[in-house]
Every structure is written in structure tokens, then in C-alpha cells.
């Protein structure tokens, strides 16, 4: 009965009561019902896919926001560190990196940053290295060297 009412609502152009009565009596909605169910199923599937895409985008946005928050906090905590601690870790990083040539500076910088990260974690900070990974490689230590007296050759 429901499908015949829906069918009448969509198809009736004039004299709705008569149209509805015939639709109910002769079950006009039978074929239309199958098509509508297929259409509704396709729409439901499309809506579910759109919902999944939206939720995935939301997760990505939240992840990026968390990465930005951690990067900012890491930078703030690093800025608060004592110069002596920074120098000690820079020297340790230079000593540990045996590589020569063009990649050496990057390797020292990466090792230095990991030492700082470990130190901050040991101090009770909770940084996710994966969240900071891109940031660590893009960190400009040339400016750091000038300001702090670190000599990253």
C-alpha cells in the first residue's frame, strides 16, 4: 500500500483521489517499486561513500592539526633549552655521524634533532617522532648555529 501511495504522489497529475484509488486497487506501483528500490539503494551507497570520504578528510585535517600543534610545541620547548644542552647534543651528533661530504650536514642535523627529541621525552614531554618527521628535516639549523653558537660544519 505504501508504494502505491508514493507512486500516486509522484505520478498523479490530476484527480489525485481517483488516481490513488486505482493505484491501490490495481497495484500500479509493482514495477515502479523495483526501480525505486534500486535507485534508493544506489543513492544510499553513494551517500555512504561520500560519508566515508568526508570522514577520511576529517581525519586528515585532524592529523595535520595535531602535527602542526606538536611542531609548534617542539619548537617552543627547543627554544627554552639551555645553550649548554644544545651544544652538548650538537657535538654528540657531529661525533656520531661518520659520513663525509654533502649529506653530512643533514645527517648531523637529523641526529641532533633526534637527540633533542629523546632528551625532551626523558623530561616528560610526549612528542611523536612520526608527527615531527617532515618538520625535523626542514628545520633550519643554520640560523640556530648563528644564534646559539653551535658550529654545525
Looking at residue 134, its pLDDT comes to: 61
Q: Please, what is the angle between helix 29-80 and helix 104-122, to 10°? A: 90
Q: Tell me the C-alpha distance between 48 and 110, whole Å.
A: 43
Residue whose C-alpha cell reads 544510499 in the numeric block: 44
Looking at residue 148, its pLDDT comes to: 47
Tell me the average pLDDT of the chain. 84
pLDDT in tens, 90-110: 999 999 988 787 788 888 888
Looking at residue 7, its pLDDT comes to: 86
Q: Which residues contact 20 (CB under 8 A, 6 or more apart)?
A: 4, 5, 8, 12
Q: Tell me the C-alpha distance between 30 and 3, whole Å.
A: 8
- Whether this model's pTM surpasses 0.75: no
Looking at residue 61, its pLDDT comes to: 96
Positions of the chain with pLDDT under 70:
133-153
Surface-to-core class of residue 72, CB atoms within 10 Å of its CB (0-12 exposed, 13-18 middle, 19+ buried): exposed
* Number of residues that this document lists for the chain: 153
Looking at residue 147, its pLDDT comes to: 46
Q: Tell me the C-alpha distance between 40 and 33, whole Å.
A: 10
In this structure, the number of other CB atoms found within 10 A of the CB of residue 74 comes to 21
Amino acid at each position: 500500500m505504501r508504494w502505491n501511495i508514493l507512486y500516486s504522489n509522484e505520478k498523479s497529475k490530476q484527480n489525485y483521489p481517483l488516481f490513488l484509488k486505482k493505484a491501490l486497487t490495481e497495484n500500479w506501483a509493482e514495477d515502479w517499486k523495483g526501480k525505486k528500490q534500486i535507485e534508493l539503494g544506489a543513492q544510499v551507497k553513494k551517500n555512504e561513500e561520500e560519508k566515508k570520504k568526508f570522514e577520511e578528510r576529517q581525519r586528515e585535517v585532524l592529523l595535520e592539526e595535531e602535527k602542526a600543534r606538536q611542531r609548534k610545541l617542539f619548537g617552543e620547548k627547543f627554544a627554552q633549552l639551555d645553550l649548554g644542552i644544545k651544544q652538548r647534543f650538537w657535538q654528540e651528533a657531529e661525533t656520531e655521524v661518520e659520513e663525509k661530504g654533502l649529506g653530512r650536514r643533514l645527517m648531523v642535523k637529523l641526529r641532533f634533532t633526534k637527540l633533542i627529541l629523546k632528551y625532551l621525552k626523558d623530561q616528560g614531554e610526549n612528542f611523536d617522532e612520526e608527527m615531527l618527521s617532515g618538520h625535523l628535516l626542514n628545520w633550519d639549523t643554520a640560523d640556530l648555529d648563528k644564534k646559539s653558537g653551535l658550529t654545525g660544519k
